[in-house]
Amino acid sequence: MRTPFVVGNWKLHKTIAESLALVTELKNQLGSLREVAVGVAPPFTALHAVAKRVEDSSLAVAAQDCFWEEKGAFTGEVAPAMLRDAGCTWAIIGHSERRQFFGDTDEAVGKKVKAALAAGLGVIACVGETLAQRDGGATFQIVEQHLAGAVSDLDAAVVDRVVIAYEPVWAIGTGRTATPAQAQEVHAFIRSWLGKQLGAAAAASIRIQYGGSVKPDNAALLMREPDIDGALVGGASLQAADFVAICRAAKPS
Ligand code: PEP
């Protein structure tokens, strides 16, 4: 019922030329994959070139962040409408690196989500606990807090453009993946929270990606869990062969 969605978050990697080389390889290798939606999130500087390169394919282009204002004296920021103008259809919002290094609060994440949706973008809203929070038994509390900040009062009309990425911070870039059971437990919690806030139909249709050291050799088992609907992939999305293998592993069996 939910088409799995796999997105490569390239973070602070790749020039325009490197981005074009990678996305061209992805386009060639993923052309025949129908049952999985795939997207890439290049750095801002490469968004337009990448979007042009994939406009005759089903690959989607996502920004790694956006600001909530449309225009004005906000040096360094990029507005959602500018991202659409550059060819993006999605924005990743609330990634743990934004929260950790750039001070994105739950309130800021909520404002960004609303602005992105209002501008017609789809949103990948990231939630997830640190290791200390997990060890302290606060996983569900933190995930709930992140969800409440990001997506608590959404209009039913936009839920098809909302994706949640559960990314335990202790698993991002560490090589330490949540087990399928650990991930599924939190994904089921997220879906049940969405049901209470947005209704059963929205909860059943919203895709929940897992992110945190997803690799070709662990993707299939994670993707088999009933509430895991794809992946947000960092490190392994920088090599075409690895990312393609993960996309293929997300194909429903
Ligand atoms: C991410 O940054 O969203 C991520 C999941 O990174 P990695 O796959 O490298 O852990």
Average pLDDT over every residue of 70-78: 98
Joined tokens for residue 172? 């991002």
Domain 5-249: assigned CATH number: 3.20.20.70
Give distance in angstroms: CA of 208 to centre of ligand 1: 15
Joined tokens for residue 91? 């924005």
pTM value is 0.97
Q: What is the pLDDT of residues 21-70, one digit of tens each?
A: 999 999 999 988 989 999 999 999 999 999 999 999 999 999 999 999 99
Average pLDDT over every residue of 178-182: 96
Residue 152: pLDDT band (50, 70, 90) is: confident
**Positions marked catalytic:** 95, 167
Tell me which residue has its CA closest to atom 8 in ligand 1.
234
Rounded Cα–Cα distance for residues 184 and 224 (Å): 10
Give distance in angstroms: CA of 73 to centre of ligand 1: 32
Ligand 1 atom index nearest CA of 97: 2
CB 10 within 8 A of CB 40: yes
Q: Which of 25, 32, 24, 30 is CA-nearest to residue 6? A: 30
Tell me which residue has its CA closest to atom 1 in ligand 1.
234
Tell me which residue has its CA closest to atom 6 in ligand 1.
234
How many C-beta neighbours within 10 Å does residue 153 have?
9
- Ligand 1 site, residue 168, Cβ cutoff 6 A: no
Strand spans (E) along the chain: 5-9, 37-41, 60-63, 90-93, 122-127, 162-166, 207-211, 230-233
Q: Using CB atoms within 10 Å of the CB of residue 205, give its burial: 0 to 12 exposed, 13 to 18 middle, 19+ buried.
A: middle
Residue with tokens 């501008």: 119
> What does the DSSP 8-state code read for residue 161?
G
Give distance in angstroms: CA of 160 to centre of ligand 1: 24
Give alpha helix (H) positions in 61-158. 80-85, 96-102, 106-118, 131-135, 139-151
What pLDDT is recorded for position 7?
98
- Ligand 1 site, residue 206, Cβ cutoff 6 A: no
Q: What is the mean pLDDT of the chain?
A: 96
Given a cut of 90, is residue 1 above it in pLDDT?
Answer: no
- Ligand 1 site, residue 119, Cβ cutoff 6 A: no
Give distance in angstroms: CA of 189 to centre of ligand 1: 21
Phi, psi of 46 (to 5 degrees): -105, 0
- Ligand 1 site, residue 9, Cβ cutoff 6 A: yes
Q: What is the pLDDT of residues 187-223, one digit of tens each?
A: 999 999 999 999 999 999 999 999 999 999 999 999 9
The domain ranges of the chain are 5-249
Average pLDDT over every residue of 135-145: 97
